[in-house]
Amino acid sequence: ATARAMKAGLEVLRPHLSEGRNEPTGTVVLGTVKGDLHDIGKNLVGMMLEGAGFKVVDLGVDVQVEKIIEAAEKENADVIGLSALLTTTMLALEPSIKMVKEKISGIKVMVGGSPLTQEFADKVGADGFAPDALRAINLAKKLAGKQ
């Protein structure tokens, strides 16, 4: 019930976060890694990125890395944001990031989720880690070269 209430609240806020924006700051593809069905944090990050002027392509939860790569190429993304909320699914980040970097030259990958740390992000090859939505905006701007 709490998750549904949070989602409903975020949907009410969505139109107000990106009012008056023209040119996007950059493009970010977001997704929760394969096997993980958690999305409140990712959704909040997505809306805050939209509010900061980014075009956000949210692929949802339980996303195969191939789908993330396809969307990033199609949208000419500046940044890919991957979310993992389970200790079991966070292990999918390293092979996913490796595949992304092999397929898309120069793409930046940021990660987030409650079990993650900067040390873990460094270990799995991420370009950045954001422990919360506010820092995710600043990180995305930095990675997209907009700061």
> pLDDT tens across 8-55, in order?
666 666 566 555 556 778 999 999 999 999 999 999 999 999 999 999
- Within a 10 A sphere around the Cβ of 129, how many other Cβ atoms? 20
**What CATH number does domain 26-143 carry, 3.40.50.280, 3.40.190.10, 3.20.20.70, 3.20.190.10?**
3.40.50.280
Q: What residues does each domain of the chain span? A: 26-143
d(CA 38, CA 25): 27
Angle at CA 52, nearest 5°, toward 64 and 10? 65
Tokens standing for 125? 């090859």
Buried residues in 82-91 as b, exposed as e (16+ CB within 10 A): bbbbbeebbe
pTM tops 0.85? yes
Q: Would you place residue 81 in the very low, low, confident or very high pLDDT band (cuts 50, 70, 90)?
A: very high
